[in-house]
Amino acid sequence: MFNKILIANRGEIACRVIKTARRMGLQTVAVYSEADRDALHVAMADEAVLIGPPPSAQSYLDIDKILQVCQATGAEAVHPGYGFLSENATFAERLAEAGIAFIGPNVQAIRCMGDKITSKKLAREAGVNTIPGHPDIIEDADTAVAIAQEIGYPVMLKASAGGGGKGMRVAHNDDECRDGFLRATNEAKASFGDGRVFLEKFIEEPRHIEIQVLADKHGQAIHLGERECSLQRRHQKVIEEAPSPFLDDATRTAMGDQAVALARAVDYESAGTVEFIVDRQRNFYFLEMNTRLQVEHPVTEFVTGLDLVELMIKIAAGESLPIAQGDVKRDGWAIEARVYAEDPFRGFLPSVGRLVRYLPPPESAGVRVDTGVYEGGEVSIHYDPMIAKLITHGATRGQAITRMREALNESYIRGVSHNISFLAALIEHPRFREGRISTNMIAEEYPHGFHPADMIHDDPALLIVVAASIHRQYMDRAAGISGQLPGYERIVSDRWVIVMNGERQMVEMQLADGGQDITYEEKRYQVRSDWQFGQPLFRGTVNGTDVCIQVERRNMYYRLFHWGAQVDIMVLTDRAAELLACMPDKAPVDTSQFLLSPMPGMLTQLIVGEGHEVRAGQDLAVVEAMKMENVLRSERDGTVEKVMAAVGDTLAVDQPIMKFA
């Protein structure tokens, strides 16, 4: 076994690997860019070495620098995590030449499976089902259109070296095919340094289901069952689970057998994932093989009781698999939700900045949190905006869902926008509850984007009585101030007006042991809690049922967040409510004359200039953020009066790019 390993990655996966290495008694070395100088993985590792400036190409993707750190620190092995160099055959080759173990598969397996075209050919030879398509690299947009017309729309354009949803576009007609080829090529070059693109038939109403495989250096190969990864947005997985609620035992067995056959065909070693696309009749087709640890590996760990990182390290050290296929048992159900710094109400645009408050849910036997950030840390524009992965486990799928709902309630994040409201909506959606999901579900259920109206709380009375209870505690404290003039002491009323969503409701309350008894709409609510002033989470019971509600006091109102819904509630006296009704409403600022940057990023292209007439839907500019190209289009006809930014500028959210006459 190794004594010291280097983690050639950052963020939550680097922290995840460090935890297992520490438990195994191994020393760890972290590498970091200048942007990650104060990152969590740097603090957790036994040693940490600066390897370059923020751009990945000059730090986390710089093979020479990482090799130098290995030699300088005496690291005997490297775990690449996922992303960056994790599926880079040249990196694995260079490590081998230097006598350093790669905690992953052999070079040949990485090379074969890392190229989607080669991998499909090998899959067919191994007897694995594959999708109809064009197996060769496409040279230009015209060729892509010709092939698409021959296969029949819809088609999927994919970067050969792609992954993580980058370099992928679905096209339903010739125009979309031309544009998709350009965007996929550009994104592939920016993300992987490889702009090759191929094309295949797009399966409608598909499910994305993958098989976890394990193989050692002694010819043993097994699978650990499947993960359902169908809930995706723009090809990025959002919620994953194990097992799949869709598969029957016969399909599950067939998929597992084919995944193992492919692993054996390439002499695979280490942990890997064979991804399949499954249609409504449970026909399944090979999609790709990821020769690395997957982001969603914790759900497999929960249901099998195995530590995949530990097994990867042991396999790399030459040990045999400690289990055979017959030893793999499935225990219960696990669900993972990816918490990102993004704004679901603004088209899921990435959010960057400082985590002013960050309180993840407490971990337990049924709740796990994998994170790479901490309160006070920064979410950088340079890297993936993941804050954490929440993973819950239960004896049944229903119990795992309930625990996930509670974990989302307890995830308190301030300073950056986040997608918890969206995750809560998906967890509660009838289609998810029933297991009727596909990779198209999010686009079908939210065709015009995700909006605050999609998060109407199904029990507003719960929020009202909690806000009233908190307000009463504040008023009782204020009434207890010393030095009040005798005979004019402040008296706290038992009757209050609740203002929420522009509507006014009346509540009455009485103090009770451990809380208040509150009457709202002729129903009595027993609110009990040991909540203290300033605590961001209100934990207690309402009529005997446990609740956890996020709460902030903001001047005259309380902001509550629960089950993904956010509401602002004012608790007022009768007279204050009367005066509030007389206050004028402030009209929002009119920004319709401007094209604003919807996200922080770099302006990479200006398609129109001053004096140009534009039509609704016309492309105006391209902003690159998190290595993704975002095309900004005109919302109406008009004329460009002034261009207010230049190509190469780093833009802030809502920064004007151009003004229309």
Q: Find the mean pLDDT for residues 494-514.
A: 94
Residue with the bigger pLDDT between 595 and 115: it is: 595
Instruction: Residue 635: name the closest of 611, 614, 651, 654 by CA.
Output: 614
pLDDT of residue 235: 86
Q: How far apart are the first and last CA of the chain?
A: 69
Give the confidence band of 409 by pLDDT, cuts at 50, 70, 90.
very high
Segment holding 66, helix H or strand E:
helix 63-73
Q: Quote the pTM value.
A: 0.85
Residue 301 dihedral angles phi and psi, to the nearest 5° = -60, -40
Bridge pairing between strands 557-562 and 638-643 = unpaired
pLDDT the model gives residue 277: 95
Dihedral in degrees, nearest 10, Cα atoms 419, 421, 424, 426: -70
- Please tell me the total number of residues recorded for the chain in this structure: 661
Rounded to whole angstroms, the Cα distance separating 372 from 169 reads: 30
Q: In this structure, are strands 4-7 and 27-33 parallel, antiparallel, or unpaired?
A: parallel
Determine, yes or no, domain membership for 532.
Answer: yes
Confidence of residue 164 (pLDDT cuts 50, 70, 90): low
- Provide the 8-state DSSP code for 325: G
Which of 455, 473, 495 marks a domain boundary? 455
pLDDT number for residue 590: 85
Q: Confidence class of residue 204 from pLDDT cuts 50, 70 and 90?
A: confident
118 assigned to some structural domain: no
Residues 249, 329, single domain; the answer is yes
Count of Cβ atoms closer than 10 Å to residue 136 Cβ: 12
Q: Considering 240, 288, 336, 410, which one is annotated as catalytic?
A: 288
Tokens of 552: 């902030």
Domain shared by 469 and 568, yes or no: yes
The gap from C-alpha 632 to its chain's centroid, in whole angstroms, comes to: 23
Same domain, 336 and 466: no
Give the dihedral sign, CA 245/246/248/252.
negative
Asked whether residue 370 is assigned to any structural domain, the reply reads no
d(CA 546, CA 410): 13
CATH classification of the domain holding 176:
3.30.1490.20
Tell me, yes or no, whether 416 and 436 share the same domain.
yes
Closest CA to 256 of 213, 207, 201: 213
Q: What is the pLDDT of residue 87?
A: 95
Q: For the chain, what is the domain count?
A: 5
In CATH, what number is assigned to the domain containing residue 519?
Answer: 3.30.700.30
> Which carries the bigger pLDDT value, residue 502 or residue 311?
311
- Per the CB < 8 A criterion, the answer to whether 315 and 217 are in contact is yes
Report helix angle 174-192 to 141-151, nearest 10: 120
The yes-or-no answer on residue 288 being catalytic is yes
Note whether 26 and 45 are within 8 A (CB): no
Please tell me whether residues 396 and 515 are part of one structural domain: no
Mean pLDDT of the chain: 94
Alpha helices in 98-205, H assignment, sequence order: 107-114, 116-125, 141-151, 174-192
Structure tokens, 584 = 């004028």
86-104 pLDDT, tens per residue?
Answer: 999 999 999 999 999 999 9
Q: In CATH, what number is assigned to the domain containing residue 614?
A: 2.40.50.100
Calculate the CA 93 to chain-centre distance: 31
604 band by pLDDT with thresholds 50, 70 and 90: very high
Q: Which tens digits make up the pLDDT trace of 240-289?
A: 999 999 999 999 999 999 999 999 999 999 999 999 999 888 999 999 99
Domain final residue, candidates 83, 103, 123: 103
Q: Is residue 42 part of a domain?
A: yes
Compute φ and ψ for 464, nearest 5 degrees.
-65, -45
156 and 241 part of one domain: no
Secondary structure class of 260 (helix, strand, coil)? helix
**Is the pLDDT at 237 greater than 80, yes or no?**
yes
Residue 110 lies in a domain: no
353-363 mean pLDDT: 96
pLDDT tens, position by position, 607-635: 999 999 999 989 999 998 766 788 999 98
CATH of the domain at 23: 3.40.50.20
Q: For 391-507, where are the alpha helices, taking DSSP H only?
A: 397-409, 420-428, 430-434, 441-445, 460-479
Query: Of 526, 548, 580, which residue is a domain's last?
Result: 580
Q: Is residue 121 part of a domain?
A: no
* Res 625: pLDDT: 75
Q: In terms of domains, do 165 and 248 share one?
A: no
Same domain, 271 and 417: yes
Instruction: Say what the pLDDT of residue 509 is.
Output: 95
Q: Within this chain, do residues 231 and 346 fall inside the same structural domain, yes or no?
A: yes
Of the listed ranges 75-84, 506-515, 616-625, the one predicted with least confidence? 616-625
Q: What CATH number should be reported for the domain holding residue 310?
A: 3.30.470.20
Q: Does the residue 375 lie in any domain?
A: no
Greater model confidence, 139 or 134: 139
pLDDT digits 0-9 by tens, 40-57: 999 999 999 999 999 999
**Per-residue pLDDT tens for 436-489?**
999 999 999 999 899 988 888 989 999 999 999 999 999 999 999 999 999 999
pLDDT > 90 in the chain, percent: 82
Q: Indicate whether 228 and 346 sit together in one domain.
A: yes
Considering the domain architecture, whether residues 310 and 433 belong to the same structural domain is answered as: yes
Q: Can you state the angle between helices 11-23 and 308-316, rounded to 10 degrees? A: 70
560/614 same-domain check: no
Q: Is 65 part of any domain?
A: yes
Distance CA 603, CA 606 (A): 8
Question: Is pLDDT of 587 > 70?
Answer: yes
Q: Kindly compute the dihedral angle of the four CA atoms of residues 60, 65, 66, 67, in this order, to the nearest 10 degrees.
A: 150
Expressed as residue numbers, the domain containing 65 is 4-103
Please determine, for residue 134, whether its predicted confidence score (pLDDT) is greater than 90: no
In this structure, the number of other CB atoms found within 10 A of the CB of residue 245 comes to: 16
